[in-house]
Amino acid sequence: MSTSTPPRPRSATTSAPARSRSALPLAGVRAVAFALMAAVAGTALLDAPAPTAAPPPTTAAPAPGAPAPTASGSTVSAASTPVHFTGKAFDTCEAPSVETMRAWRGSPYGAVGIYFGGRGRGCPGQRELNPGWVSSVQAMGWRLLPVFVGSQAPCVEAPAKKPFAIGSDPWGQGTREAGDAVRAARALGLGTSSPLYLDIEAYRRGDAQCAATTLSFVRAWNREVRRLGYLPGFYSSADTGVRDIEAQRRAGTADLPAVMWFARWLGKPALATEPTLAPAAWTPHARIHQYAGNVTESYGGHRLVIDRNAVDAPVARLTTARAGSSSAEPASAPATSSTNPSLSFSSTVSSLPFSSSSTVRSSASPSVHSAVSRAPARP
């Protein structure tokens, strides 16, 4: 990324109704015998053990691009389906000031990546990033891509990231850091069904043990994020992390990311033509392409060093507290429009659930495979 200074309810059981014990007229032996049989049958029904509740159905692991399960294991409701954005986004190491974000509304970008948590962040201070900042920029029309930079592959290439290498318990570590990510997201007012993008920087290719350790960490992180009601997204180099995750998708591995954010610096968007990914993988509304990095841009007199991204993917949903209530509900997200004529797809926001059957439609030019493109190291 940029180098400038994510008790089951019991089944209801119905008891048999109690039999009436009113006196019967003596109409003959047959009538008396019938009454006695009915009484005995009623007693037997009353004393019978209650039926045992059936075990809960087993839920298969969600496919990449499917809606996230909630903490109870069920799929998120229609009221909290992911909100997706299509258009251009930028990310930068530290969240810019509200004034800068206001000035940049005249830019081609409609979304911004925010580094909201993780021990591996290059800019851990984040002086501007707080709930007030989040609500202010959302009100301006910005959409947010929350990025969590936690532990990194043991064979990570960037020297500055080596102190944050995944340890000897990658599954446990991934689960714990997923909890950290969700707590940090909630603290900023990012509601359930928001995507949380796990940043795994480029690592040494061909190191099977390192890749296996990293995969275990990522899968555990994804599973826990899903369990807690958020969408697990994944950012990495197209030639390392993304390539390995795609191989796992082809193999049918569970607990993979719901959204794929791949870095290949081509200089132009190529959402649908990344050679590492199958055309239908992570579609629709589940891809981000970081197509340029460490570029300087200025709008309204405010200059930033950024990475450029093309987006057709989920963005954060904000929560707003109701007056007189401690409960929170997703804040509505008004549509935005693209001001950049060079980006062929319009910038829109909608609340459509994912599916895994169709492909992204984009007129981006086919990419030329670059052997040297990879996610940059963050200081």
Percent of the chain with pLDDT over 70: 63
- Per-residue pLDDT band for 39 (boundaries 50, 70, 90) equals very low
In whole angstroms, what is the distance from residue 271 CA to residue 345 CA?
A: 11
Q: Give whole-number Cα distances, 63 to 82, 197, 250, 335, in Å.
A: 15, 17, 11, 28
pLDDT at 320: 62
Which residues touch 45 (CB under 8 Å, ≥6 apart)?
Answer: 16
In whole angstroms, what is the distance from residue 375 CA to residue 314 CA?
A: 21
271-284 pLDDT, tens digit per residue, is: 999 999 999 999 99
pLDDT at 64: 54
pLDDT at 359: 28
E strands, 248-286, are 259-263
Single pTM value for the model: 0.71
**Which one-letter amino acid corresponds to residue 188?**
L
184-215 pLDDT, tens digit per residue, is: 999 999 999 999 999 999 999 999 999 999 99
- How do 259-263 and 231-237 pair as beta strands? parallel
- Per-residue pLDDT band for 257 (boundaries 50, 70, 90) equals very high
pLDDT at 81: 85
Give yes or no for residue 237 having a pLDDT over 80: yes
DSSP code of residue 273:
-
Alpha helices in the chain (DSSP H): 29-47, 98-103, 131-140, 170-187, 208-227, 241-251
> What is the token pair recorded at 207?
């190191």
- Per-residue pLDDT band for 240 (boundaries 50, 70, 90) equals very high
Give yes or no for residue 76 having a pLDDT over 50: no
